[in-house]
Amino acid sequence: MSEICTYYFLLDDEQKNNNEFYKAIWLGHERSEYISEALIPKYVEDGPIVSFVKVFDNHQCKRWKVLLVERDTKNVYVYLTHRSGSFKEEYLSTTHKNNHSVTSRLQLGTLVEVDFGHIPEVYCSNGYSKQNWYYFDSIHPGEMHKRRLCAVIKAQAGSVQVVPITSKEPKSSSDKSIVEIGFDSLSSLSGYNDPKIRSYAICNMVMTVASSRVLPPNASHNSPRVFRDIKYPSKLLSIDKRNLTEALCHSIGFGDYLSLKDKVSRYFIDNGELVSENTRLQSLCNTLELDNQRLTEVESKYNALFEIMVDWKRSLKDYSAEEAVADIKGEIEDYRTILEE
């Protein structure tokens, strides 16, 4: 009969470092009969921190950090400690129940933490272990895992679209879908604000996660203490937000989107100015048209009066039409000179 038993013990970091495993407190165990394989937390010495959820009787903590995993032929021994800050954490799904407007605060560039889960390892009843390749219901190597910082792309009531942020440098500097996040955007975030560690947004790994995986990052927010603000105030600075948008465009093959958008914006502004100028010129044209109509009427009256004066001059003196016209024009110029003085 195949049998696997997993024992869980409570230990702290100091006890582990001092090899004081005799101080470990038994938390509980799981026994599997007629089952030849079991998934257990994958632990690697000096590797990334592994967290997972397990509910034990008489323990408030549900989220644990794995300190060590040991095995023998039939048994697995998992040593755990409380994951820091995991007692009073409020995920977005809970916040949304009390405040439906919170989702609207998660705009492009909002910084959040996301629990992606851990990559388990397959433990066999013969004492061997292997990768979980054919356990499709678990997270596989190469997929996003552990709790990590992310930048929001879009959020709705039950899910959030995010870009994961990592400290691992990109393999290729020419990959424009991966962009560095400036330190100033992360300076207030506890655990992510080490100036010696660079951060990169992996825009070719956009993921949609349930709101029950999302929570605000620990941050100071210009306060002497660090806490998780459920109003989600942590956001990328404008320059990092623009760089993130550009990297997202490259990730889907539209690398020139922002430059084209800027051109369209400039054309729109130019077009607006031209429309305003066209309106001004049209108004001026209408005014000039009215003036032209008025002047045409004045000119018609002037011509009629001039003809009357010509006839009047000829009736006074024996003038030809040309002489009368010349005499009248001379008098008009004399009067204009007097009026202009």
pLDDT value for 149 = 97
The secondary structure element, H or E, covering residue 218 is strand 218-219
Torsion of CA 59, 60, 66, 68, to 10 degrees: -20
CA distance to 21, 37, 168, 180, 186, per residue, from 240 (Å): 47, 46, 18, 8, 11
Taken as a whole, the chain contains a residue count of 341
pLDDT for 87 beyond 70 = no
Tens-digit pLDDT profile for residues 200-218:
999 999 999 999 999 999 9
What residue type is 159 in one-letter code?
S
**How does residue 45 score in pLDDT terms, banded at 50, 70 and 90?**
confident
Lowest mean pLDDT, pick from 239-243, 266-270, 291-295, 304-308: 266-270
The pLDDT, as a whole number, for residue 317 is 78
* Confidence category of residue 85, pLDDT binned at 50, 70, 90: low
Q: Is the pLDDT higher at 326 or at 180?
A: 180
% of the chain exceeding 90 in pLDDT: 50
Angstrom distance (rounded) from CA 147 to CA 214: 10
